[in-house]
Structure 1
Amino acid sequence: MTATLTLLKTRKSPKVFDLTDPGPSPAEIDEMLAIASRVPDHGKLTPWRFIVFEGAAREQAGEVIAGVFAAQNPDADTDRLALERGRLTRAPLVIAVVSTAGPHAKIPEWEQTLSAAAAATLLVVSAHAHGYAATWLTEWYAYDADARAALGLAANERFIGFIHIGTLARPQEDRPRPALNDIVTRY
């Protein structure tokens, strides 16, 4: 079996709370993002972009998320606001994948959105290839218009997900995978 096949067969998504330091170096982050950019992209539109949250930027973005949550939930207690503040601090690095899909004469928005999802997938696989673990999360703030705007997205942009990247704090059990007979139809 080739190293690539082994890599693909062993990738899994750990619990976000099992990610710890160290995270990727700046050079590794750049390489991961370059790899994530090598996805199918009909029309060469580049219908996605990345937002990197590392170091103190994770806490700053957490304050933004907590602020939006507090405005929408004025009765939220301090524990809940602390949870919201810590959303992007659970791993040393978080990279948001943003879909910039929009109307086009030839390329449907759906194809553009799928290209962004493919970029998120390659980012997760690239993190694994670099020796890190990655978890792709889309929590409430990924779907909330106020949170999206507060985190810098334009009205037409959407979060595909937040990729949390770090070193595994402990070994992970693999989850059961579907039997091919249950998910494959041969026409």
Structure 2
Amino acid sequence: SWLILDSHDTPRFHVLTGDQRRTKVGVGLQMSLPGVPMVWMGDEIGLGGTSCGEDSRRPMPWNRENEWDHDLFAWYAQCIALRRVSDALAVGSLRWVHVGSDVVVYLRESADERILCAASRAVHAPVQIDAVDLDCERMGTLIGSDAAVVDGRVVLPADGPAFHMWRLSGGSAHFTQGSTQQNASTEVGRG
């Protein structure tokens, strides 16, 4: 199935959210849930389009990069790059870990990789997960903030709107915090 936030027949998603943080959460979900992500031309640069029809069909401003939202473009590039190099994100199974009124946490798993994702629409109570339930020794931040480890429990960031992603590795014998976001970004660049 397609994972599409908007199209030429709908208002632009980022215009509807009215907030870049909420837009980033939507893009994070789009690039990490099962299915085929489809990006409507211009979404990645924040191209306008406030209504259905012709306004959402504005031409791409190829020669006017000063009009682009470069922060949003970098977010799309980072999320797409992660999906391209991750078997878990591209074809892995989905397991819901926590569902709350303001946050969802899910695990994408393949034979070789496990990615934990958290998407929040607002600030929320901290989500705590028993480290043994995650069955990992290390947790490397790919996108967003690091998770804390307190008394054998993983405490996820409670900010919002926000999207976070961590790579889990190892077994459940011993849990420690793993690589930093900088190291994870370097690894992503391999694809």
| TM-score, normalisation: structure 2 | 0.26
Structure in which a larger fraction of residues adopt helix:
1
Structure number with the bigger relative contact order (C-alpha 8 A, sep ≥ 6) is 1
More strand by share: 2
Q: Scaled by the length of structure 1, what TM-score is found?
A: 0.27
